[in-house]
Amino acid sequence: MNAIDKYDARAQAVNSLVCVGLDSDLEKLPDRYRRDPSPQLAFNRDIIDATAEFAAAFKFNMAFYEAEGADGWRQLAGSIDYLRQRHPDILTICDAKRADISNTSAAYARAIFGDLGFDAVTLNPYLGRDALQPFLDHKHNACIILCRTSNPGSADIQSLAVGDRRLWQLVAKKVAAEWNTNGNCMMVVSAANPAEMAQIRAIAVDMTLLAPGIGAQGGEVEAVVRAGLNSAGRGLIINSSRSIIFAADPAAAAAELRDAINACRS
Amino acid sequence: MNAIDKYDARAQAVNSLVCVGLDSDLEKLPDRYRRDPSPQLAFNRDIIDATAEFAAAFKFNMAFYEAEGADGWRQLAGSIDYLRQRHPDILTICDAKRADISNTSAAYARAIFGDLGFDAVTLNPYLGRDALQPFLDHKHNACIILCRTSNPGSADIQSLAVGDRRLWQLVAKKVAAEWNTNGNCMMVVSAANPAEMAQIRAIAVDMTLLAPGIGAQGGEVEAVVRAGLNSAGRGLIINSSRSIIFAADPAAAAAELRDAINACRS
């Protein structure tokens, strides 16, 4: 059972495609946490307790822990330990968008899959396959490769025309046809453009797609679900970060997203 | 004076274009350091002491510190502090290859330029300009954007044909013509292919290029220097990591590289 199977099993068990994004920016935490000696860890514990029953995955955004230095790293490790102990069947994603030459990528893989113990990591394709191979070689972990991102300027490079295709289409094709030999690849596909997600689904028929951009980034649930589900009615991880974790009632926000997604799946 | 000016001043003062890459992989450190409670910090201090007089820049490879968790991060911060206190005029580069959506990139910029206090950072262009903007907005720091990397599989994406050009040529053009409005961009250009470096020099006439791939990665000094220098005889940062830091005599290795480079500049 690799990390993708783990996600599928959890998604089925709790009937949810929701990923809760722990973008636990210290500056945005409610005041009551900021007085805690481990504010990010205390906040994450509460969010995990409140939302786990609605979540098939949790995604940790590395930047917000690195911004707090060694102490942030310690709180990240504590948060992932807490999640793993209480909910070992929930997929854990390290949103790090890494890629480097081989011995360096091997060190990142050691940090993320080994030391921190994540199930999955987000990766950047610009350096090519061999830069990702040290991650891909971890057959039981999942490699979630950036294909089409949700930021306004994503077209600068991703939409350049390569022959009669866009670069993001070429990346989708390479990942699906060439880089996924261990069956442990997924792709990041923005929820902001369902028409493009449908094209990527046509290229990567069975793969699982991680869709950020719901909520704070403006994606609409129904269009994303219709465009992104595979023929088995799954293969989609829908992430929401700030719209859940900074909601007045995070549990209600997570339940609402789960229900909105499921309403489009039936 | 921004970080690029800082580099130029130091390069002129010590007559060197050498960057020493602190890829201080714990597993590769000599035994005598591995018994130290802070092995990476102890090793880095010795390498800095031995090689600083020959160095215009030091580059810290984040992966090898992250691989040791919070303790690695602490040793990274200690190493950069040590370097800054003893040699405040040497350019410090964080080799992190980051890029993410805007609020996330802002958190990375806070970590790297703020908390750690680096002068410069390496960045990945795949997400487009707006993803790099939070870094670019730090006008006194330098943003070193990946253009052409030195790994064998770099052609997978970077060499795709976009019209009558390669993707890496388009990236070079975008960085030089559009993304460098604050005058604080550099580019990463592999030392492994001097003909391509010459093409990038023709696109980015005055920009400073960071060339990894000398030494362990096989690049040849003379061809790189001839292809990469700008018309003022500078604009080039030549990095060597393992070939210097794991040499029997790191000072001699750094001096030898400086001299080999300078022999091609006269």
Its ipTM equals: 0.96
CB of A146 within 8 Å of a chain B CB? The answer is yes
Smallest CA–CA separation between B127 and chain A, in Å? 5
Residue B122, token pair as written in the block? 């390496």
Asked whether A62 and A69 are in contact (CB, 8 A), the reply is: no
Distance in angstroms (rounded) separating the CA atoms of residues A135 and A144: 10
Region for B218 from its dihedrals, namely left if φ exceeds 0, alpha if ψ lies in -120 to 50, beta otherwise: left
10 Å Cβ neighbour count for B254?
A: 26
A142 φ, ψ (degrees, to nearest 5):
-110, 145
User: Tokens 């006439």 correspond to what residue?
Assistant: B205
Q: What angle do CA B173, B177, B180 make, to 5 degrees?
A: 110
Q: Is the pLDDT of residue B61 over 60?
A: yes
Model confidence pLDDT, tens digit, residues B208-245 = 999 998 865 556 899 999 999 999 999 999 999 999 99
Q: With beta carbons less than 8 A apart as the criterion, state whether B128 and A190 touch.
A: no
Domain ranges of chain B: 3-263
CB contact under 8 A, A100 and B67: no
Three-state DSSP state, B212: coil
Give me the pLDDT at residue A266, please.
76
Is the pLDDT score of A207 beyond 70?
A: yes
Is-contact A66 A94, C-beta < 8 A? no
Mean pLDDT of B44-61: 98
**Residue A84 CB burial class (10 angstroms; 0-12, 13-18, ≥19):** middle
d(CA B75, CA B178): 37
Whether A183 contacts A4, CB under 8 Å: yes
B91-146 pLDDT per residue, tens: 999 999 999 999 999 999 999 999 999 999 999 999 999 999 999 999 999 999 99
Name the amino acid, one letter, at B257.
Answer: L
Yes or no, beta carbons of A125 and B69 under 8 Å apart? no
Angle of CA points A127, B40, B185, to nearest 5°: 40
Q: Does A169 touch chain B (CB under 8 A)?
A: no
List the single best residue of B23, B24, B74, B97 to mutate versus A (max A Cβ within 10 A).
B97
DSSP assignment letter at B59: E
**Count of alpha carbons within 13 angstroms of residue B25, beta-carbon side:** 12
What pLDDT shows up at residue A165? Answer: 97
CB atoms within 10 A of CB A195: 8
- Report the residue from B63, B108, B217 with minimal CB separation from A100: B63
Once rounded to an integer, what is the mean pLDDT over residues B30-42? Answer: 96
Active site residue B97: yes
Read off the pLDDT band of B199 (50, 70, 90). Answer: very high
Contacts of residue B91, Cβ cutoff 8 Å, sequence gap at least 6: B3, B6, B7, B10, B19, B56, B57, B58, B119, B120, B142, B237
pLDDT at position B198, please?
97
* Sequence-distant (≥ 6) Cβ neighbours of residue B96 within 8 angstroms: B62, B108, B112, B121, B122, B123
Alpha-carbon distance B181 to B174, whole Å? 11
B-proximal residues of A, 34-93, CB under 8 Å: 61, 63-64, 66-71, 73-74, 77
The pLDDT confidence band at residue B48, using thresholds 50, 70 and 90, is: very high
**What is the number of CB-based contacts under 8 A between chain A and chain B?**
195
Q: Are B111 and A63 an interchain contact pair (Cβ–Cβ within 8 Å)? A: yes
- Nearest-angstrom CA–CA distance, A11 and A237: 9
DSSP string, A120-139: EEEE-GGG-HHHHHHHHT-T
pLDDT, one tens digit per residue, over A118-168 is 999 999 999 999 999 999 999 999 999 999 998 989 999 999 999 999 999
Q: Give the Cβ contact number of residue A262 at 10 Å.
A: 14
Chain B CB contacts of A162 below 8 Å = 160-162, 167
Which residue of chain A is at minimal alpha-carbon distance from B178? A156
Which residue in this structure is represented by tokens 């330990």?
A81
Answer for the pair A235, A34: CB distance below 8 angstroms, yes or no.
no
The reply to whether residue A146 touches residue B126, judged by beta carbons under 8 angstroms, is yes
Least confident interval from A41-50, A167-176, A218-227: A218-227
Q: Is B26 on the interface with A (CB under 8 A)?
A: no
Which residue in B63, B111, B124 is closest to A104 by CB distance?
A: B63
Average model confidence (pLDDT) across chain A: 96
Query: At which residue do the structure tokens 């795709």 appear?
Result: B160
What would the pLDDT profile of A225-242 be if each residue is shown by its tens digit?
999 999 999 999 999 999
* Cα–Cα dist B173/B179, whole Å: 9
Q: B253: distance to nearest CA of chain A, Å? A: 21
Name which of B74, B37, B33, B79 is nearest B60 in CA terms: B79
What is the CATH number that goes with domain B3-263? Answer: 3.20.20.70
Residue A218: its pLDDT value, please? Answer: 54
Taking CB atoms within 8 Å and a gap of at least 24, the contacts of B177-181 are B178/B129, B179/B129, B179/B132, B179/B136, B179/B145, B180/B207, B181/B136
Spell out the residues 6+ positions from residue A143 whose beta carbon is closer than 8 angstroms to its own: A120, A121, A123, A132, A135, A136, A184, A185, A186
- The runs of H, that is alpha helices, within B137-249 are 155-158, 167-174, 194-203, 221-228, 242-245
Strand partners, B244: none
Average pLDDT over residues A188-210: 96
